[in-house]
Structure 1
């Protein structure tokens, strides 16, 4: 039996459910899983013999297009992939898990500042805050449970105001 992998990407969960239902009802295929891509995009992967996967993908395309305009983001069939379908999905999942968060460096800096608060005096804290960029200060400010500047106004605050409010907030939280 020649295996294939089929993928449908939709905008919204409703379209994803409709596509999955159509694929599983239309031919002898198995669902490998779904992935929430982000920005409202969702992908579902199926496997089966090449003809069954192609039939299922066509049924899903028709079903999602019938549901509404613009809900189908994409579709693709990989006939006879070089790897087993389940291994393929497992490898993709491993790659996703290994990806570092976008703001890992900034997150480390925020943790270091938080740890420093517990260990160092006010002067050291003030010095560290003054060395930070405004964008870093804003991120730190947004993480504070009690903060004198409203969340919606943090993006407008200048460095001086952010440092003063952070000092007040961080010293209170000690």
Structure 2
């Protein structure tokens, strides 16, 4: 089995304010990327950060301290070079090797617009300068409608902002 070249850090808190404080502190403490968060149940939430081992360790330490100050820290942990199957267990984790950009681009999404999350479809729709829906309408549009309009944009062309 292969391992990833980055490290994965996790900070688990009770409540969103502590999680946001932890994510903010982690991002400011070291050169890491806060990639996603997940909610479990009963207010338990986990934020995930990636980067090199020493940066992730510093970020997780700073994030854990911030979570303790703001609310309740449950756990924190760093996995150096996680096995390639570990990131697949985490919903919405963006692996640096798998995706180079956070915002979905046309080439990433054409193969399966229906398979994309509603948030990814909304980000993609907002990236067009001439999308037929306003930003407010994009925010309330149904997934099927966004996928249909994005497919029409793909067929007819259209410029994405950069």
TM-score of the pair, normalised by structure 2? 0.51
Match of 1:89 among 87, 90, 107: 87
Would you say how many aligned residue pairs link Structure 1 and Structure 2?
89
Question: Is 1:11 paired with 2:11?
Answer: no
C-alpha displacement of 1:82? 2.1
Question: Is 1:39 paired with 2:37?
Answer: no
Match of 1:20 among 23, 33, 47: 23
Partner of 1:93, secondary structure, is coil
d(CA) in 2 for partners of 1:65, 1:21: 13
d(CA) in 1 for partners of 2:91, 2:66: 28
d(CA) in 1 for partners of 2:10, 2:24: 14
Gaps of 5+ in 1: 95-174
d(CA) in 2 for partners of 1:48, 1:82: 15
Question: Is 1:61 paired with 2:59?
Answer: no
Question: Is 1:48 paired with 2:51?
Answer: yes
Gaps of 5+ in 2: 93-162
Mapped contact 1:2–1:50 kept (Cα < 8 A): no
Mapped contact 1:4–1:53 kept (Cα < 8 A): yes
d(CA) in 1 for partners of 2:83, 2:87: 13
C-alpha displacement of 1:90? 3.4
d(CA) in 1 for partners of 2:16, 2:78: 21
Q: Please identify which structure carries the higher helix content.
A: 1
TM-score of the pair, normalised by structure 1? 0.47
